[in-house]
Each structure stands twice: as structure tokens, then as C-alpha cells.
Amino acid sequence: KDEPTFYELVGGEPTFRKLVARFYEGVADDTLLRPLYPEEDLGPATERLTLFLMQYWGGPNTYSATRGHPRLRMRHAPFRVGPEERDAWLRHMRDAVDSLDLPADQERTLWDYLERAAYFMVNTMDDP
């Protein structure tokens, strides 16, 4: 059999569902980030990020099957993502990653990616 994917190593779909659910609990109460989300219901946004991360780490390709090519920087262009939004996003994600209690090497792999991705998503350096 092939080497397990990172997706499998960390526990598959339930792990990513738990991660993103916890992340959006933080976003729901965040006065800087919450207004960026166009929909009243954060459920669909939760589903999109969950499916994206599952696919990124070697799980099923449901994200691209339903949403097409990720093009994440382009998809974030309508939203103000400055250093403060990035740091708020990472704060909620840090809390969510910690809640998984992963082995240290897996935690580091996941966090390094999320941190780099969040820095990459910044699309303005202007003051709010």
C-alpha cells in the first residue's frame, strides 16, 4: 500500500471538521473579521474551508469538484485582508489547531502551512 497522506495521518475528515468548526466559532465573535463574511450563515464558509483543507492535504477532491480551481488569492480579492485581519485569522486558527492535540511534528507541519498561506493572502497594507 502507498504511504498514508497527511490527511490520513491526522485522522481524516473528522479532524478537519473539528479544526474548521472551532476556527469559525472564533470568527463568529470577532468584530474585525465577522463583517467580512458576506453571508449571515457561516455554515457554507465553514464547509468550503473544510473541503479545501481536506483536499490540500491529500483527502477527497470534493472542493475542486464543487468550487473549481482554488485560486485563493483571487477569491479573497473582494475582502480587505491587511496585517490585522491576517493576525486575527491566525489567532483563531492557532486556537483551533491547539484544540486538536496533534503530535508535535504534525502540529508543526499544519501550522507552518496555515501561517504561510495567511501571509500570502494579504492584499492590502493600507491603514483600515
Residues of this chain that interact with ligand HEM (CB under 6 A) are 33, 36-37, 45, 48-49, 52, 67, 72, 75-76, 79, 81, 85-86, 89, 114, 117-118, 121
CB of 106 to ligand HEM, least distance (A): 16
103 versus 120: smaller Cβ distance to ligand HEM: 120
CB of 61 to ligand HEM, least distance (A): 13
CB of 74 to ligand HEM, least distance (A): 10
Radius of gyration of the chain (CA): 15
Judge whether 26 and 91 are in contact, CB under 8 Å: yes
Judge whether 96 and 53 are in contact, CB under 8 Å: no
59 versus 86: smaller Cβ distance to ligand HEM: 86
Judge whether 45 and 89 are in contact, CB under 8 Å: no
Judge whether 18 and 99 are in contact, CB under 8 Å: yes
